Chain A
Amino acid sequence: MEMQTTLEEPVSTAVARPRRGRKFIQVFLDRKAILVGSLILLVMVVLAVFAPYIAPYSPYQQDLDHTLAPPSWQHLLGTDLFGRDELSRIIFGTRASLMVGVVSVAIAGGVGIALGLMAGYLGGIIDSLIMRIMDALMAIPPIILALSIGSALGGGLKDVMISLGIALIPIYARLMRGQVLSVREADYVIAGELSGSSNLRNMLVHVLPNCVSPLIVLITLNLGVAILAEAALSFLGLGMAPPGAAWGSMINDGYPYMRTNPLLSFAPGVAVMLVVVAFNLVGDALRDALDPKLRGSV
């Protein structure tokens, strides 16, 4: 062969490095926090999906002879004002919580990412307009914004999802815009352009995939935020209609019986905290695992 003089560099160092996927998993699992977080989430999802089979009682079944019962073997966490089993209601509450979290983040993410993409890619007056609207949305505290929209829409579970979705849009739009702006200028995107790629292809092949990591992290962390907000809204009386089980409203319902039955308020709060902590743990671990600096570039 003619190319003798360009001897190949030995690849020993490259071989020693784990492949991309493995490295990701390794960094991810290196953090024990992630295991705890994933486990909690798994349990929660199972509880939500199989609630009717797992919960000892129906969440609506009243037992007016045993109202405000203290914890016992029949009712591990006691019963509420109507004699409903607190534990069963918490288990069923997982459903509303997770559903609101997922749906509202999906709305926020979908709309926010699209807006951010548009703002970042098109620039100019459209960019300014979109971003000023986002600034305005951010100027109203999310709880108040969601409360206003939710109540204006009617106040049901569906309205809570929509209103929370709207309140969280600006975060995604901002992040996405920033990402697009930085990635668009990257050498590898320019290289794609110089290869003769169309704008669309460039967007899909180079820009979008490279914007994804921080979005995944944000989505994970935001699920926790949305669940927290849902609890707050239902604490204030918005969301699932009365007999339904939602953690926030359970905390509120239990509040008057603090002196005698503190668990009625505390237990659902612990549930909220567990889910949120779990999402945060997973989110933080994802952040580290997806960080290209940590992905063994040497």
Chain B
Amino acid sequence: MSHLLEVKNLKVQFKLDGRTVKAVDGVSFHVDAGEIVAIVGESGSGKSVTQYSILQLIPAPPGEIVEGEVLFEGTDLLKLDPRSQELRDVRGGKIGIIFQEPMTSLNPVMTVGRQLEESLILHLKLSRSQARERAIELLRRVGIPDAEHRVNYYPHQFSGGMRQRIMIAMAMSCEPKILIADEATTALDVTTQAQLLELLRDIVRSTNTALVLVTHNLGVVARFADRIYVMYAGGIVESGTCKDIFANPRHPYTVGLLRAIPRLDDPKDRKLVPIDGLPPDLSQKPTTCAFMPRCVYRTARCAQEPAPPLTPVGPGHEAACYVLPSAEEFSAAANAATAASETSAALAAPVQQKQTGETILEVRNLKMYFPVTKGLLKRKVSDIKAVDDVSFDIRRGETIGLVGESGCGKTTVARAILRMYDPTDGQIVFRGQDIAKLPKKDLRPLRRHMALVFQDSYSSLDPRLTAANIVGEPLKVNRLVASRAEYDRRIDELFELVGLRPELKHRYPHEFSGGQRQRLGIARALASNPDFIVCDEAISALDVSIQAQIINLLEELQAKLGLTYLFIAHDLSVVRHISDRVVVMYLGRVVEIADWKSLYENPKHPYTQALLAAVPIPDPFVEEQRERIIIQGDIPSVMNKPPGCSFSNRCPLATKECTEQVPPLTHVGDGHSVACIKVS
């Protein structure tokens, strides 16, 4: 049987600085009409390059398709000249593609209407006015309200989610046979992501289009894919049906990935098993199994023989591994790993029954408004209420999770607490002292008791300082060490504490990997022995296997040093895993606070419920059973919150009363508070 698309032994490389990066190294896969195929792997594994090569869209030079075939409807697309009419007919006409970055993938100086019409005129040979009509119809189809007007808008006038809808409309406009979605929803919030994935599925199912879903998110894959290819270091290491891959994974890397991610339905005390180490540098890729340095099942054979080929391990299920551990072996190894960390059981135990002490931080009615100015004289006309009347407290030794979608005010809360902003109103009582109005110079001595771990480990480390100087800055400015020798000793100690070799301390930030840099950021935060650390999306930028390493590090440090965390993240599974209590925010207000168990098992606020429903679970069997309510619409901007309850324009339970007053955060028992008039 011939496939709709068949890629055979594709090899792509990039030549940079005299190095040759083998980005894609012998990849073969196929796609059949109407199916949803997922390509999964960590960043840099070659997923995107594989897809772009199909249409010869990689930048060349430095890129070069070295060999391989891409058979599509009987033609080898790689044989076509990239400028030829034949290839251009396929691009956009028969194969549509959606890119990851909604903010940059649309031309900023052209209206979205024109960008849509362009394809229609080109491939469907429509007239200008027909194209316009069709463009409006397409926009409506992907859920853009008021499409007749918005067709004349420029991309910057849309939110990220809206732009990605437009990209979908554009890619689907000429009714392609295949739609490639390269991390199409990765940059979006969970609720938007869920909406768009459903939309994509509905569209492809109704038109019998094949969908190639490129992603690093296993949850997305479990819910939507028919078949899965797992990529690692430029090659496919395992492929099979969705259920096979999740129920009976055979490649150690696939198993590693599944173990490394926290799940919404995990037992709380499950220890994440990170995959140690880093993926190989693709310019120095070994000829042996690329996963070997990180593999716990490796044998002598793995080290001697060339990289293992894909071999069948079941019907329609292949894996590239010599050992092919069985399910029993995997669980045995997992137990061993847990046992190994039993040595640190002394650590694990207090993690479970955490002793929380006195209140270390109390936030009372915190308001942070930013002025909106207008006119020639920049008169203040209104406020952006980024944080509006937020209260919660944190006890010593616990982890408070702060969740909510982008723009809801999480970071502003953190920055106000750390007094990077001057709060408009409210109190921030830290170690018994209200610091909300404290002048900057009186704050300085308090700084050593609180610290921040940033999201972007790269931009938060001064590129011109060595790792030692970065980590040592708090020691110096707060005069926490008496001598040079003590300083050096303390630096070494900090490096070891976060799992970095002290020898690395003379390097500059760009010489570290992402995970290592985040460790440096943590070491700097720990330097002044603070009691309280804010982690603002501290793991969001990292790959899943590295994420697990950092989460474990944070948990261990807490147990060892008795730290208190305010852990901000948009990934609800991670927050569930790490937090004792959770605060949910929506448009600048707290809508629900509870201990993790009540919040996740018995969410009361309609928004929390919707948020949790939108989180995909990396398990096709669970996903099948789950029923989901997907909330409609976009998050409004903080500037035009609906009156009364901010959620009222999207809430399935909303009634007229909801728009009349802002529901106060009300205690409903057991430390569980909810801001909804329908909950009591």
Chain B, residue nearest A212 (CB): B464
A190 to chain B: closest residue by CB: B420
CB under 8 Å from chain A, chain B span 191-209:
none
A4 near B524: Cβ-Cβ < 8 Å: no
Does residue B444 face the partner (Cβ distance < 8 Å to A)?
yes
Contact at B464–A209, with CB atoms within 8 Å? yes
Interface string of B492-520 (1 = CB under 8 A from A): 00001111110010011011110110000
Cβ-closest chain B residue relative to A188: B462
Contacts of B284 in A (CB 8 A): 12, 16
> Does residue B418 face the partner (Cβ distance < 8 Å to A)?
yes
Are B507 and A2 interface neighbours, CB within 8 A? no
Q: Mark B512-532, 1 if CB is under 8 A from A, else 0.
A: 110110000000100110000
Contacting pair A194 B552 (CB below 8 A): no
Are A16 and B553 in touch, CB under 8 angstroms? no
Closest approach, in angstroms, between the C-beta of A8 and any C-beta of chain B? 5
Q: Is the CB of A16 within 8 A of B277?
A: no
Indicate if the CB atoms of B420 and A201 lie closer than 8 Å: no
Residue A6 at the chain B interface, CB threshold 8 Å: yes
Q: Among the listed stretches B49-57, B225-233, B251-259, B470-478, which one makes contact with chain A, having 4 or more residues with CB under 8 Å of it?
A: B470-478
Size bin of chain A's contact surface: 35 or more
In the complex, what residue of chain A is closest to B273 when comparing beta carbons? A5
Residue B250 at the A interface, CB < 8 A?
Answer: no
Between A11, A16, A206, the greatest number of chain B beta carbons within 10 A of the residue's beta carbon is seen for: A11
In the assembled complex, the Cα of A297 lies from the Cα of B549 at a distance in Å of 22
What 1/0 mask marks residues of chain B from 436 to 450 whose CB sits below 8 Å from any chain A CB?
000000001101101
Per-position 1/0 for B302-329, Cβ under 8 A of A: 0000000000000000000000000000
Question: Is the beta-carbon distance between A8 and B513 smaller than 8 angstroms?
Answer: no
In the complex, chain B residues whose CB is within 8 Å of the CB of A5: 340-341, 344, 552, 556
Residues of A within 8 A of B17 (CB): 296
| Contact partners of B451 in chain A: CB under 8 A | 194
A244-298 interface with B by 8 A CB criterion:
292, 295-298
Report if A65 contacts B (CB, 8 A). no
Number of interface residues, chain B, beta carbon within 8 A: 59
Asked if A194 and B452 sit within 8 Å, CB to CB, the answer is yes
The residue among A1, A6, A197, A201 with the most chain B CB atoms within 10 A of its own CB is A6
Q: Is A3 in contact with chain B by the CB < 8 A criterion?
A: yes
Q: Which residue of A11, A186, A194 has the most chain B CB atoms within 10 A of its CB atom?
A: A194
* A74 within 8 Å of B (CB atoms): no
B516 touches A297 (CB 8 A): no
Q: Is B32 an interface residue (CB 8 A)?
A: no
Asked if A7 and B499 make an inter-chain contact with CB atoms under 8 angstroms apart, the answer reads yes
Chain A: CB-nearest residue to B498: A6
Q: Within the assembled complex, what's the spacing in Å between the Cα atoms of A1 and B343?
A: 10
Q: Is B460 an interface residue (CB 8 A)?
A: yes
Given known pairs A17-B511, A194-B420, A196-B447, the reply for A6 and B458 (CB within 8 Å) is: no
Is A191 part of the binding interface, using a Cβ–Cβ cutoff of 8 Å? yes
A192 to B496, CA, bound (A): 22
Within the complex, which residue of B293, B340, B454, B473 is in contact with A192, where a contact is CB–CB below 8 Å? B473
Q: Do A9 and B276 form a contact, CB below 8 Å, given A194-B451, A195-B447, A209-B464?
A: yes
Q: Given the known inter-chain contacts A14-B513, A210-B463, please indicate yes or no for A2 contacting B281, CB distance below 8 A.
A: no
Extra 10 A-B pairs, beta carbons < 8 Å, given A8-B500, A196-B444: A7-B277, A10-B278, A11-B516, A14-B516, A193-B420, A194-B451, A195-B447, A195-B477, A195-B478, A210-B464
19 pairs from A and B in contact (CB 8 Å cutoff): A2-B344, A2-B556, A5-B341, A5-B344, A6-B552, A6-B553, A7-B276, A9-B276, A10-B278, A12-B281, A19-B507, A188-B463, A191-B460, A191-B461, A195-B477, A195-B527, A196-B445, A196-B474, A197-B477
Q: Which residues of A contact B (CB under 8 A)?
A: 1-14, 16-17, 19-20, 186-198, 201, 205-206, 209-210, 292, 295-298
| A-B complex: 4 closest residue pairs judged by Cβ atoms | A196-B447, A6-B499, A187-B460, A195-B474
